[in-house]
Chain A
């Protein structure tokens, strides 16, 4: 963290900004600046909701050494599937429409995540590659549909769907007026507690951890590794899908080609920053949301470009992983004479 602040500060200095001011705007203003805080404080929770939900799902897989890198794709498909249901039933006013769309979002994310799971089980493909590739498939699918059959008939041919805010039955509305805090925020908080309980008290949390630490011991304990792949990818896909649906019916309001903003990838950072622990993930998600909100503030308050914020977030993960290695391993400069051919030796 500290290293990130230092390196980030250096970067901002090189860009000709006052580093202290930039850091202050990014980290402190969203919470403490009186003029904006009434809006930004709840916004932090709104931004954190999809991040934390996706990261919680991912953390199971990461604990079990099953690497779902494609949460972004599952997020998009979840949004797409849920939105399609809503658009198909337009203009239904039924109260069950939003829950049904939520279910469709979950199923969409689940199906998208099960593709790499089943390929891994039956063809031993690498789930990292497959899930990542499916992100790009999902992005193109989204573009194709919003310029095709999902395009709004009243949208002047813009590549976007009907607005979900237009009908109460499809609007994931704010639950506390004026804050923007929608259903997802409360769902996120409940999910954190639930995941914490699973990890500490439920055999599934134990099995996930065991599978990651000692795969042979996991098999010996009677855990089916293929079932583990399906569950871990399935859970992360479902949560990513639900997060996508909540986003499209809530803050985003409609499907557009610019709907995916990288929550699925940022959630990977959040999961690791939170050490794969539910409470840690909540804190990391909030921190990351602060950098989002603070980044926006920095854009209009001191004119920092959006790209610099992304660099800053990348640094966070980089330094986290780097210090992790330095904590676990000691660095040694090799002072051996260089004239000898250096060959790996097995002892």
Chain B
């Protein structure tokens, strides 16, 4: 999504704004936050090592780095969630040592987290009241309205948060921050949940905020976005500052190289011929069980051997329900599911695995893996059927250990040892392990949901390449993803799911991003995307 959306937003942007900001920076604006030799160690790793840079008022400052580069640790220190081992901070030229988020907020630092911290069952205004201090209850709705009008963040204070889209929930978070009149706004991966249209609106808001002198610290993986939005970028690698640069003068490639330290190898898709039909769903329907899940209506799709079929869509439009119906974890569906010439919709998850259908769900912790168990035990979790790791119920721990080591070897999983708990692994490495666990079972088909969610660039590329290779060897892949870029990069055909309804498969070559965006948001936003 990022590539296209940023180009679009760059045209929306008044060029003068960018020029003024740039000159400001060069003239040496007031420094909002000065970091000086900040270090923080955890057992076994130096997360932040002697980090110094400055964030000036009126700039959008990007913080770039792979997973594990130290971004979160640094931000947590600024927001008072962690205390630095050494080093100091100055906020508006005054020493700044936040004890906890409350004192950080009181001094003018606000943060919007990647995962929202809102109560679904409460209204917008109630959510705000819970987090702002010394705010009279009576005036809050008016304040929300005036702020949201001022910054184009359309919100109605009486709506229940659970009914809002991700983009709207983010607006609630931003307005909640603005109520505290911050001087520094930290945004962690803000566009990962947004549609293209919402992303553009967010950029607009951020530019308006910095034009009023607020500083924004913007954490993102999406390099094109950073290039177009941010005035300066500080790149972290291995806990150290590599460089502070002007992203507009860099290419996405050069930024990525600085982040990773070596050149990134993009996945290569070989042209392969598709085989016979491997998997087919016809007329699949799932009624919604609670008010928070989506009903699936008449889903039809078919995948051939060697094909990667992508399913695009915004979170919560039925992807999870589809995944659970295919895996057999939820068996209340109607309609038919076929793997080759076998009808499998009445079968259990393990019976489906035995036939060659394997799954990699979105949620790593607690669904695909138990993070308190060792990697060996986690290898057993799904592979016991196809790899014959149990005989008459007795676990063959030697074979299981060998299998876990094989995954670690072949998928370059970096970890302390297979006997360690899965929680010791970073998100990217755990995901490589979990995808590897499914691929090494030599399945006929893999269903994977959000394989690169929260995974750094190198690991994401490795995972995508693994999926491509798997398809190249004749397996079918159903790739459910909210990252349109990922789908465009590796999928042969893409269907879009919206409100539980799946579109016809579209060719990524002949369909524009705008068309995908339209389908992903349904039709009601059609007037706003040109």
User: B117 near A216 (CB under 8 angstroms)?
Assistant: no
Q: Does B45 have its Cβ within 8 Å of any Cβ on chain A?
A: no
**Taking the complex as formed, is A275 at the interface, i.e. its CB lies under 8 A from any CB of chain B?**
no
Residue B73, interface by CB 8 Å: no
Contact A202 B395 (CB under 8 A): yes
Residues from chain B with Cβ under 8 Å of A201 in the complex: 394-395, 397
Binds B, one of A105-113, A176-184, A203-211, A249-257: A203-211
A143 to chain B: closest CB distance in Å? 42
Is A345 interfacial (CB 8 A cutoff)?
A: yes
State whether A220 touches B130 (Cβ < 8 A).
no
CB distance A203 to B370 under 8 Å?
no
Q: Is B119 a contact of A346 with CB atoms below 8 Å?
A: yes
Are B130 and A346 interface neighbours, CB within 8 A?
A: yes
Asked if B118 contacts A213 (CB within 8 A), the reply is: no
Contact assessment for B130 and A203 in the assembled complex, using a CB-CB cutoff below 8 Å: no
A210 and B377 alpha carbons, distance in the complex (Å):
9
Asked whether A217 lies within 8 Å of B393 as measured between CB atoms, the reply is no
Number of residue pairs across A and B with beta carbons under 8 Å? 80
User: B101's contact among A206, A214, A343, A347, by CB below 8 Å, is which?
Assistant: A347
Q: What residues of A have a CB within 8 angstroms of the CB of B397 in the complex?
A: 201
A16 at the interface (CB under 8 A from B): no
Query: A320 vs B353: C-alpha distance in the bound complex, in angstroms?
Result: 43
A345 touches B130 (CB 8 A): yes
Q: Is the CB of A220 within 8 A of B131?
A: no
A213 touching B393, Cβ below 8 Å? no
Q: How many Å lie between the Cα of A221 and that of B384 in the bound state?
A: 9
> Per-residue 0/1 for B352-379: is the Cβ within 8 Å of any A Cβ (1 yes, 0 no)?
0100000101010111111111000100
Q: Given the complex, which residues of A lie within 8 Å of B133, measured CB to CB?
A: 340
B129, B353, B382, B393: the one within 8 Å of A203 (CB): B393
- Would B119 and A221 count as touching, CB distance under 8 A? no
B363 partner residues in chain A, CB cutoff 8 A: 216
Q: Say yes or no: is B253 at the interface (Cβ < 8 Å to chain A).
A: no
B394 A203 Cβ-Cβ under 8 A: yes
- Do A206 and B367 touch across chains, with their CB atoms under 8 A apart? no
Alpha-carbon gap, A209 to B371, bound state (A): 12
B377 touches A206 (CB 8 A): yes
Smallest distance from the beta carbon of B510 to chain A beta carbons, Å? 37
Once the chains are docked, how many angstroms separate the CA of A44 from the CA of B397? 37
Q: Taking the complex as formed, is B32 at the interface, i.e. its CB lies under 8 A from any CB of chain A?
A: no
Q: Which chain A residue has the least Cβ–Cβ distance from B327?
A: A220
Q: Is B393 in contact with A221, judged by CB distance below 8 angstroms?
A: no
Complex Cα distance A341/B385, Å? 56
Beta-carbon nearest neighbor of A210 in chain B: B370
Chain A: CB-nearest residue to B101: A347
A203 x B395 contact (CB < 8 A)? yes
**Is B114 engaged at the interface, CB distance under 8 Å to the other chain?**
no
Q: Which residues of B contact A217 (CB under 8 A)?
A: 366-370, 381
Q: A213-B370, A344-B130 provided; 13 other pairs, C-beta below 8 A?
A: A202-B394, A203-B384, A203-B393, A203-B395, A209-B373, A214-B369, A217-B368, A217-B369, A217-B381, A220-B368, A221-B381, A224-B348, A345-B130
Closest CB pairs A-B (n = 9): A222-B350, A214-B370, A346-B117, A347-B117, A214-B366, A216-B367, A222-B349, A213-B370, A221-B381
Contact sample, A vs B, 7 pairs, CB 8 Å cutoff = A214-B369, A217-B381, A220-B368, A340-B134, A343-B130, A346-B118, A346-B119
